[in-house]
Amino acid sequence: MKKKIVAYNRVEQPVLDDLKEKYDVRFFKNVDTKNDPEFLGHLSESEGIIGLGTPIDAELLDNAPNLKIISNVSVGYNNLDLGEMNKRNIMGTNTPGILTDTVADAVFGILAATARRIPELDHFVKNGEWQAEAIGEECYGINIHHKTLGIIGMGRIGKAIAQRGHFGFDMDILYHSRNRKPDAEKTFDAGYRELDALLEESDYVVMITPLTPETEGMIGKREFQKMKSSAIFINGSRGKTVVEQDLIEALENGEIASAGLDVYEQEPVASDNPLLTMKNVVTTPHIGSSTHETELSMSKLAGENLEAGLRGERPPNLVNPEAFNENE
């Protein structure tokens, strides 16, 4: 009898097809994982979960007595309650490395789009508002080159963003992270700063930290008031690293110039969110890793993680080794 697996959201079809040849796989998309009877019925007999964004907590795990591994199709794993998983010897995995350049491309694209007001001016042209050959200052943007880029979180993606800014746009790079990064300091001539100093000195502030208890709400009213009034804020990390209402007020009050956002406190964004009506805000729907090539590579790696765990082996990208050690 084939082992049962739950697949949930954003598992690419070639990987899903491959898994279905080997396992009894049921795919679910955007269902209520706490109340959907079909999901819970299959979960109760499943040994593995693969997918994106499924909240894993004690309540869900109580319905999954046979579960051995949860394979996230993402680098982040803040949806996993690792403490509960460790108690039950359930392994968790992620897909690091693959999406580094893709996310950095997206973040820098959002930065450029915000600085040069590209979405706003695209509508300006398409709506027939471009009436004179020479545009006026109402269409002017802000330079990127030779400005100061402050990066909060100098991990793989932070370094890739620094690379683009330093070598591509001759930007001065500042960074703040839990630990100093000598390699980034050498390669990108990056300067380490305490958070307040980074906020005060940077023309562009890019948030690219994981969501942890330490980073939740890390940027709020006080931090926005530290920034230059001409600063542009970019969030490519997780929505809850920022106090969204404080961001809205900072934009409304002119404490910062503009923002580019790929992530939000609530996703999808509520239609009445004030950010959606602000001309000085560029919004994208959490597109960080969303290219055909990257999504397929992430799904493949998640599949490898899943199958290793089902075989009782240590998965390549195990995030809670305690669970595996206890299984040995």
Task: Please tell me the total number of residues recorded for the chain in this structure.
Answer: 328
Catalytic residue ranges: 238, 267, 286
Determine the longest span between alpha carbons in the chain, in angstroms. Answer: 73
Beta bridge partners of 149: 173, 204
CA distance 310 to 112: 44
Comparing CA positions, the residue from 24, 17, 93, 104 lying closest to residue 56 is 93
Under DSSP, the state recorded for 122 is H
**Which residue do the tokens 């994982």 mark?**
33
Beta bridge partners of 80: 56
Rounded to 5 degrees, φ, ψ at 82 are -65, -30
Handedness of CA 103, 26, 67, 60 (dihedral sign): positive
CB 46 within 8 A of CB 64: yes
